[in-house]
Structure 1
Amino acid sequence: MTTPPKPAKRPENPRFSSGPCTKHKGWSLEALKGALLGRNHRRPETKARIEAALHKTHALLKLPDGYRVALVPASDTGAVEMALWSLLGPRGVDVLAWEAFSSDWVTDIVEQLKIADIRALTAPYGELPDLSQVDFSRDVVFAWNGTTSGVRVPNADWIAGDREGLTICDATSAVFAQDIDWRKLDVATYSWQKVLGGEAQHGMLILSPRAIERLESYTPPWPLPKLFRMTNKGKVMDDLFAGQTINTPSMLCLEDYMDALAFVETIGGLKGAMARADANAKAIADWVAKTPWVDFVATDPETRSNTSVCLKVVDPEIAALSPESRDDFPRRMAARLEQEGVAYDIAAYRAAPPGLRVWTGSTVETSDVEALMPWLDWAFMCEKQALAKAA
C-alpha cells in the first residue's frame, strides 16, 4: 500500500489559525517603524495616535452618528466583560449560546453577576437557538459569529428596531468580514487579532447612544474593578472615546492595528474586506460540495461563517470507529499537515466537537485556501490508510 502522492502546490502562507490570525500579505516589521515607543500614552502625541485609530475605525466600519468607540484592556473578552458588568441588571436578560465563547457569557451572567431574571437560549454545535423566541423588552447578549462552531446569525432582521432593552454583541470574528447592521446593536466588541490579523490583548468597545444613556442612568449593585469603569460621578468618561485609555496600551500593537486598517483601505474598505472573506469561504464550500468525506458543522447554509469555517469528518468508515479513534482522526490530520508545513492550527477548538477549523478571514489569500483543499484530501487519505495498516 503506497503513500498517496502529495499535491504539487502548497499554500504560500500556511497560517490558518483562528486567532491570532495571519497578517495580511506584504506585512513586515517596517510597518511598525513609526510607533511612538518609550512615550507616555497620555502625552498629546500618543493620545492623538490612539484617537486617530478610533476615528479611522468609526469611518471604515461606517458606524452611525452618535456611536462611540473606545480602546479597552484584555482583548475582546475584556470588552465583553466591561459591557456585562457595567450595563446588565435593570432588566431581565436573554443570553444566546451555541458554542464555547457564547456559553462563557451564560456562565458569567448566571454564576458571577447572579442576575435573577435570566433566560439562556441555547443550541448544540452546528445550530442556532430559535431567534424568534428572543424577547427584546429584555437585554439581549449574543455572539454575532460563533468562532468555535462556524455558525453565525444570518443577519440582524430578527433584532427589534423598537427594542426596549439593550443588545450586547460579541462580534470579534465578524467585524470587518460580515455585514453588520450597527443600528441593531447597542454594544459591540471585537479584537485586533481576529479579522485584521493584529496583535492581541487590546479590545475595542463600540457603544450606541442608548448604551451611553444606560451607563449614565444606572449604577450596578456590585463592585466594578477599575478596568471596567467607564463613568465618573454618574457621567461617561468622554476621554475614553477620545484617545484616553484605562490602562497602558502598547503603542507598538497600536501601530500594527493602524497598518491593518490601512490594508483594509487598499482592498476597497469594508466591502472589499467582506468580499475577501466571502471568496475564501466559497473556496471551501465548493470543495465540500464535491468531497464525500467532509461536511460543515453548521447545518444551515445561511448560518455558515465566512471566517471560522468548521468542518467534520462524515466518512462512514471513520464514523464506525471507536469514539476515541473517531475523535482522534481529524486531530491526526491536522498534525500531519502541520508537520508538512502546509497548515498550522486547523484542529477544532479544544472545547468543540473534534473536527477541522480553517480561518478564512480578510487577511487570508483565496489562492492559499484553494491550495489547501487538495492537502486536506491528502491528509484524509494518509490517515485512513494508516488505520488500515494498523487493523
Structure 2
Amino acid sequence: MRKPANPRFSSGPCAKRPGWSLAALEGAMLGRSHRAPAAKAKLREVIERSRAVLGMPAGWVCGIVPGSDTGAIEMAMWNLLGPRGVDVLAWESFSLEWAKDARDHLRLPEVRVLQAEYGRLPDLRAADWRRDVVFVWNGTTSGVRLPDAGWIPEDREGLAICDATSAAFAMEMDWSRLDVVTWSWQKALGGEAAHGMLALSPRAQERLKAHRPAWPLPKLFRLGQGVWEGETVNTPSMLCVEDALDGLRWAEGSGGLPALVARSEANLAAIAAWEARSPWASFLAGRPEERSCTSVCLRFRPGAAADEAGVARRMAAWLDREGVALDVANYRDAPPGLRIWCGATVERADVEALLPWLDAAWEACQPG
C-alpha cells in the first residue's frame, strides 16, 4: 500500500504547509530585539496578514499574546468577565477547562455550565445572551463543531467569547456574531507553539476600557494599547514569527480563506466516504453538519471492539511504527478511538493514502 507522503496528522502542533523546509526561516530576525523597528514591523505584519486572511471586520483589533490559545482565552476571560453573569458551553476537554476557570478560579458568582457529552453539542438555544457566553467554535478533542453562528443574536447584550483555535483558517465564522476570538499559530497553519492571537470587536474593546476586574491581573495578562500594534507582553520568538509569516503567505498564495476551507472540507469528505463503508469505525460526532473538518475524531462502532481503549492504543502505536500516521491517538479525556488532523496544511492525497492503513491497523491490533 502507498504510504502518505507526510504522515504528520497531529492535532497540535499541526502539519507544516506543503513544501515547507527550514529555508522558510532564513529571513528570521535572530539575535535582534523584538522592540527594534524592523522586528516590530514583522510582528505587525503577522497581525495585519492574519486580519486580512481571516476577513476580520473594520474596527476589530488583534494582537500577539503569550501562552498559545490557552493564554489568549485566559487573558480574555480574566480581563473581560465580571460585569454580567456567564454561560459557558462545554462539550469537550478545553471548553470544560474554561468552565472551571470561570467557576473555580475567577469564582464568578453567576456561572452556568451548559454541558454535553463527547460527540454532541449542548442546547445552543439555552444560552442566555443577557449574559456573557464563552464557547469553542470547534471541539478539538471531540471533533464536534458549530454548524454556524445563527444561534448568536446580533442584538445580544453580553459578549460572545469564542475559542477558535482549531477553526480559524479552516472554517467560515460570522464575525458579526462574535466579540472575542482567539487562536494559536500551532494549529491550522502549522506554526510553532507558545504564541496566541487575541482579537476584540468594538464592543469587547469598550468592555476592556470600562471594566476593572475585582481580581489582580498578573503582568502577562495585562492588555495595554500597544498589544494591538505589535508590542508583545513578553519576548516573542522571532523564529516562530518568521514561521507564522510563512504560513500566512502560503495561505494568501493558495487562494485565501475560501481555499483553506475547501481543502479542509475535502479532507473531511475523504474520511466520510471511507467511514460510510467501514465495519468498525464511525465519527464521534453523530450529526454530519457538526463534524469537524480539522480535528476528525473516530470511535469504534458499537460492539466492534470489546477492549476499545486497548485496541485504540495499539492502533495508534502500530500506525506510528509503520510511519503512516504520527500522533493520532485520541485525547486522554475523550472516548477511545483515533484523532486525525485534516486542516488545510494536510494534503487530501495523504488522507486518502492513510485510509487503507487504518483498516490494516484494525486488523493487526485485534486481541490474540
Give the TM-score of the pair, scaled to structure 2: 0.99
- Asked whether 1:271 is paired with 2:253, we answer no
The residue aligned with 2:324 is: 342
- Equivalent position to 1:215, from 208, 212, 215: 208
- Separation in 2 of the partners of 1:315 and 1:113? 40
> 1:310 deviation in Å?
0.3
The residue aligned with 2:282 is: 295
The residue aligned with 2:313 is: 331
- Separation in 2 of the partners of 1:297 and 1:118? 28
Listed one character per residue, the Cα deviations across residues 261-281 of structure 1 (whole Å, up to 9, x for unaligned) are 011012100111111000011
> 1:317 deviation in Å?
4.4
The answer to whether the 8 A contact 1:343-1:372 is kept is yes
AA of the residue aligned to 1:145: N
- Separation in 1 of the partners of 2:363 and 2:302? 11
The answer to whether the 8 A contact 1:292-1:315 is kept is no
- Asked whether 1:73 is paired with 2:102, we answer no
Listed one character per residue, the Cα deviations across residues 187-243 of structure 1 (whole Å, up to 9, x for unaligned) are 00000110000000000001000011001111000000001111xxxxxx3321111
The answer to whether the 8 A contact 1:294-1:315 is kept is no
What is the DSSP-based 3-state SS (H/G/I as helix, E as strand, rest coil) of the residue aligned with 1:78?
Answer: helix
- Equivalent position to 2:232, from 241, 245, 250: 245
The residue aligned with 2:11 is: 18
Mark the CA change 1:253 to 1:317 in structure 2 (over 3 Å): closer, same or farther: closer
Q: 4+ residue stretches of structure 1 with deviation over 6 A?
A: none
CA RMSD of aligned residues (A): 0.8
> 1:315 deviation in Å?
5.6
- Separation in 1 of the partners of 2:308 and 2:227? 50
- Separation in 1 of the partners of 2:232 and 2:297? 36
Aligned residues with identical type, % of pairs:
58
The residue aligned with 2:25 is: 32
- Asked whether 1:47 is paired with 2:40, we answer yes
- Separation in 1 of the partners of 2:75 and 2:11? 23
The residue aligned with 1:113 is: 106
**1:357-372 equivalence runs, <5 A:** 357-372=339-354
Structure 2: tracts of 5 or more residues without a match? none
The residue aligned with 1:313 is: 300
- Equivalent position to 1:163, from 156, 160, 169: 156
The answer to whether the 8 A contact 2:169-2:260 is kept is yes
AA of the residue aligned to 2:267: N
- Separation in 1 of the partners of 2:357 and 2:99? 38
- Asked whether 1:172 is paired with 2:159, we answer no
- Separation in 2 of the partners of 1:91 and 1:217? 13
> 1:25 deviation in Å?
1.2
Query: Considering only CA atoms, is the larger Rg found in Structure 1 or Structure 2?
Result: 1
- Separation in 1 of the partners of 2:58 and 2:315? 48
- Separation in 2 of the partners of 1:87 and 1:366? 40
AA of the residue aligned to 2:33: N
- Separation in 2 of the partners of 1:377 and 1:240? 48
> 1:316 deviation in Å?
2.5
- Separation in 2 of the partners of 1:178 and 1:352? 23
The residue aligned with 1:133 is: 126
What is the DSSP-based 3-state SS (H/G/I as helix, E as strand, rest coil) of the residue aligned with 1:281?
Answer: helix
- Separation in 2 of the partners of 1:25 and 1:284? 20
The residue aligned with 2:180 is: 187
The answer to whether the 8 A contact 1:178-1:274 is kept is yes
> 1:43 deviation in Å?
1.4
- Separation in 2 of the partners of 1:272 and 1:36? 30
The answer to whether the 8 A contact 1:150-1:309 is kept is yes
The answer to whether the 8 A contact 1:187-1:206 is kept is yes
The answer to whether the 8 A contact 2:164-2:183 is kept is yes
What is the DSSP-based 3-state SS (H/G/I as helix, E as strand, rest coil) of the residue aligned with 2:125?
Answer: helix
The answer to whether the 8 A contact 2:280-2:304 is kept is no
What is the DSSP-based 3-state SS (H/G/I as helix, E as strand, rest coil) of the residue aligned with 2:133?
Answer: strand
- Separation in 2 of the partners of 1:246 and 1:60? 24
- Separation in 2 of the partners of 1:86 and 1:21? 29
- Equivalent position to 1:254, from 241, 247, 257: 241
- Asked whether 1:356 is paired with 2:345, we answer no
The answer to whether the 8 A contact 1:20-1:200 is kept is yes
- Asked whether 1:85 is paired with 2:78, we answer yes
> 1:77 deviation in Å?
0.2
- Separation in 1 of the partners of 2:314 and 2:226? 50
Give the TM-score of the pair, scaled to structure 1: 0.93
> 1:44 deviation in Å?
1.0
- Separation in 2 of the partners of 1:219 and 1:105? 20
- Separation in 1 of the partners of 2:253 and 2:283? 32
> 1:60 deviation in Å?
1.1
